[in-house]
Amino acid sequence: MTVLGKKALNKQLSAKRVSWAGALAASLILMPGILAGNPVLAQQKAERNSLTYGELIKKTEKGEVAKVELDEAEHVAKVYLVGQKDTPIQVKLLEQNTELINRLKEKNVDFAEVSSANSRAAVGLLINLMWILPLVALMLLFLRRSTNASSQAMNFGKSRARFQMEAKTGVKFDDVAGVEEAKEELQEVVTFLKQPERFTAVGARIPKGVLLIGPPGTGKTLLAKAIAGEAGVPFFSISGSEFVEMFVGVGASRVRDLFKKAKENAPCLIFIDEIDAVGRQRGAGIGGGNDEREQTLNQLLTEMDGFEGNTGIIIIAATNRPDVLDAALLRPGRFDRQVIVDAPDLKGRLDILKVHARNKKIDPAVSLDAIARRTPGFTGADLANLLNEAAILTARRRKEAITILEIDDAVDRVVAGMEGTALVDSKSKRLIAYHEVGHALVGTLLKDHDPVQKVTLIPRGQALGLTWFTPNEEQGLISRAQLKGRITSILGGRAAEEVVFGKPEVTTGAGDDLQKVTNLARQMVTRFGMSTLGPLSLENQSGEVFLGRDWMNKSEYSEEIAAKIDAQVREIISNSYQTAKSILEQNRIALEHLVDLLSDQETIEGELFRKIVAEHAQVADEKIAVSH
């Protein structure tokens, strides 16, 4: 439709709206007249059923009149003739009706005076009320809305914290596992609240604030619930984002109201989740001015450790962005303790799995220790999700208990995504098999690499095939040899494509792999000092945006150094790629055998994969010994 056509259609629609509005208004105007009756029709009806004054007197003298009702206000008489008592006849009266009344008395005709003024007044009042009542209802509706708006405006400054006199969260310290150091720190806070005399006797002062720091899913909010469940004191919980509103001053007012309520219920606990929403570094706003978030933070700083102080109130806050918090918020006297809640180690993962396995039916053959070893880097939330996914798969497969098969599938789903449809036998499937076996074979034959866990051609998420490597032990520090081994293994997929099909046939399947190796190699050069440039840190881990520091990410080195960095990155990746190609060329028989097996079975477990590689390596060594 053209623009002119749209305009014409809009005009027609607006004209129809106007016509409908006019019809509605006209009907409202005519409604009282309709209800009051049509005067023309009433006049015609009256003319058909009427007598003259003289005819009435004659009929009275003849004895044909049975009853007469006189309406002096309207000068009308309703005459009921003999034999027609149901249908009265109207007669117009004179100003003085003495003669008619005398005739009625002489003939003993029943007559009486009836006034219609009251009924007409009632009808008029009813018609007027039909206009007034809707207007009154409309006015009351507007008044009610304005009252609600004003009451909401008055309540903007009230704290939205959820308050419980004794927080029954259903969570105790026994329900929290994998963060033993953090639990010890926080158990002291509970003891402070329950038995303060143990600490005050030796001059110890109760901490004012505890800041829980850690990545998402490690159990910060769960720890706060455990503290609330253990302490048995009044508990306030609120999110940092609930302080901030579009109106200036509301956040600071809510902070004041929160601490006022807390002082009335001291000793008590205040839990502020995601405090980075309100506690970001001041001066980060562009242009300065009266920043609402900064005013809220200033009020929070004053309430935590200002002129008046707050005795008996312990503030627990949680964040996964401690780097953006204001320095004044982190100093002793406000947040006296900063508790790190990090991803659990092997023992912590095992304890977490035991907690979440309490209410699940798990087959006795399933080893929780083996699951803990398979899941390095998993947080508490990841492990809870893992067992829940396994339980869902068990119910879907109509089994009575969770077996290791459901656990394996759940791990794959959590790590890589939902399982897709397996590929049919084709050139594409075999090419993906070479790619995945290239990763696994290079990683297995490298000395400083994690052992392979599984190789599969079953698509998951957006990946058409996957290769998992699982470390034997917890890795805190990574060596240069391990990083180069990872780069070489990641390049093994592209190297296998080139070794088998040649350079013209390499595919786009290595796009994500190349991004990973480039990032790793650049970090080796610019952050870890693992190149010929020497032990220099040339780049930060991440550049924060608008934190009141630098307006723009500026280069920390010269163009000459930048060129050397690029050359070093290229050299590391090129050498690793040549190493991967050399390994695959030397083990071409093992590569072909594993590809045939993977194409047939679609999944090879790590133990079987390593066994096949070891057998081929032994055969190769024997051939070399015989040749010598």
Neighbours of 105 (CB within 10 A): 10
616-622-627 Cα angle (round to 5): 130
Q: Is the dihedral of CA 100, 106, 107, 108 positive or negative?
A: positive
Q: Give the up-direction half-sphere exposure of residue 298: CA atoms within 13 A in the CB hemisphere.
A: 11
| Contact present, 157 and 253 (Cβ < 8 Å) | yes
Amino acid letter for position 405: L
Active site residues: 436
Alpha-carbon torsion (314, 318, 323, 325), positive or negative: negative
Contact partners, residue 14, CB within 8 Å, separation at least 6: none
Q: What is the DSSP letter of 284?
A: -
**410-429 b/e (C-beta count within 10 Å ≥ 16 → b):** bbbbbbbeeeeeebeeeeeb
Beta bridge partners of 317: 211, 272
- Cβ contact 88:78 at 8 Å: yes
Q: Which of 563, 541, 543, 539 is nearest to 553 (CA)?
A: 543
**Rounded Cα distance, 45 and 224, in Å:** 87
User: From CA 177, how far away is CA 354, in angstroms rounded?
Assistant: 9
**214-236 burial: b if 16+ Cβ within 10 Å, else e:** beebbbbbbbbbbbbbbbebbbb
Say what angle helices 250-264 and 292-305 make with each other, to 10 degrees. 20
Residue whose pair of structure tokens reads 């405090």 in the numeric block: 275
Q: Cα separation of 389 and 218, whole Å? A: 19
Which residue type occupies 360? K
Task: For residue 43, give the DSSP letter.
Answer: H
